[in-house]
Chain A
């Protein structure tokens, strides 16, 4: 079970990121717990400067823009 957090203030790119993460996890049969952090203070705690950011098991793996499908697949190996 992976804990996945998407950091973003709610723009279109953040929503696309959440959707894509769910899609890839489902396709790969990986069990994830997806959370969305929209509060600025929470986002800043991760030191992310460009949203959307992605945090997996407490580690920032991506920041700025919707991550590519290949990149997401590599997180879910």
Chain B
């Protein structure tokens, strides 16, 4: 079947894709509008009594799992397609020569839509600098790209609603913009490793990025779904199962005294300090976030914890050590951690 499709001329292949997408969107909407019915039917099929603790937990699981997986698939596909318009080369071209300030805002925003893998962080970093992107602007990108990503946003939206997701988006962007801006103002260029500074402004070979057909863009989107959803679904299931268990059993104010709204002021810094050396992606940390919030922890404290886990990590520091001198790494970690702290306090105060 795939063999057949790939040997067809581009136009019919596009038609197959568009037809397929139309069917998929219809099926998606149908499924999304009947989540409640699905959970009810499944629960009825097991013969459990409604109203018992266990059936409450089971219903929560049966409702949330398909919901989050549906959202994840749709958004990851969409982002995968959007990303084909923003290759790292293109993003760099957009950013080079931009002034500090405007550049920081643009860099943090582009961080959401530019494809990024943590193992590419260093080549990207050098590639940006050698093309004349200011150091602070480069940092804005480097902070935003892993932290504000579609998986984190979808999971937050699915589990806590759009307000929390939107707050996370804006706070994450703000941390990336301001941290990059501060690092730029500190004039830290001399703390780059010498060989990095020696690399001459970019004779980068451009790779066939822009001349993509829509069929290729859709195929990339599908590949993105396979890669991301294929990797994160176990975390999502684990997270929802944990959430379901907590939903049914654990008393709601379990964490309230240490991480709740009325907890001492030092609960936010402690959360960030625990989070920095930890490393996992957004999907891995969301189960923990869900569990903590379910037990009465304050949202700001938990989100600060989550940001520090995703944005700052020991393995990333070790990779960055190849291009940055220790002073600059320490500054980077310090500035970002401070930004996250402020976000934690603001969230706790506002909500």
Known: A47-B127, A49-B123. A40 touches B199 (CB 8 A): no
- Contact with A49, one of B6, B203, B204 (Cβ below 8 angstroms): B204
Q: Does B164 contact A (CB under 8 A)?
A: no
> Is B119's CB under 8 angstroms from A11's CB?
yes
We find that the number of chain A residues with CB closer than 8 angstroms to chain B is 25
- Contact with A65, one of B115, B195, B205 (Cβ below 8 angstroms): B115
Interface string of A16-49 (1 = CB under 8 A from B): 0000000000000000000000001101101111
Q: Which residues of B contact A59 (CB under 8 A)?
A: 205
Q: Which residues of A contact B122 (CB under 8 A)?
A: 9, 40
> Is A60's CB under 8 angstroms from B120's CB?
no
Within 8 A of A (CB), among B101-157: 115-117, 119-120, 122-124, 126-128, 130
> Is A48's CB under 8 angstroms from B195's CB?
no
Complex-state Cα separation, A4 to B35, whole angstroms: 50
> Is B92's CB under 8 angstroms from A64's CB?
no
The residues of B with any CB-CB pair to A shorter than 8 Å are 6, 87-89, 92, 115-117, 119-120, 122-124, 126-128, 130, 195, 199, 202-205, 207, 219, 223, 319, 322-323
Query: Which 10 A-B residue pairings sit nearest by Cβ, starting from the closest?
Result: A49-B127, A11-B119, A47-B204, A60-B205, A50-B120, A49-B88, A63-B207, A50-B88, A51-B120, A49-B124
The residues of A with any CB-CB pair to B shorter than 8 Å are 8-11, 13-14, 40-41, 43-44, 46-51, 59-65, 68, 70
Q: Can you report 21 A-B residue pairs in the complex whose CB atoms are below 8 A from each other?
A: A10-B119, A13-B117, A13-B119, A40-B123, A40-B126, A40-B322, A40-B323, A44-B199, A46-B205, A47-B127, A49-B89, A49-B123, A50-B88, A50-B115, A50-B116, A50-B120, A50-B124, A63-B88, A64-B87, A64-B120, A68-B219
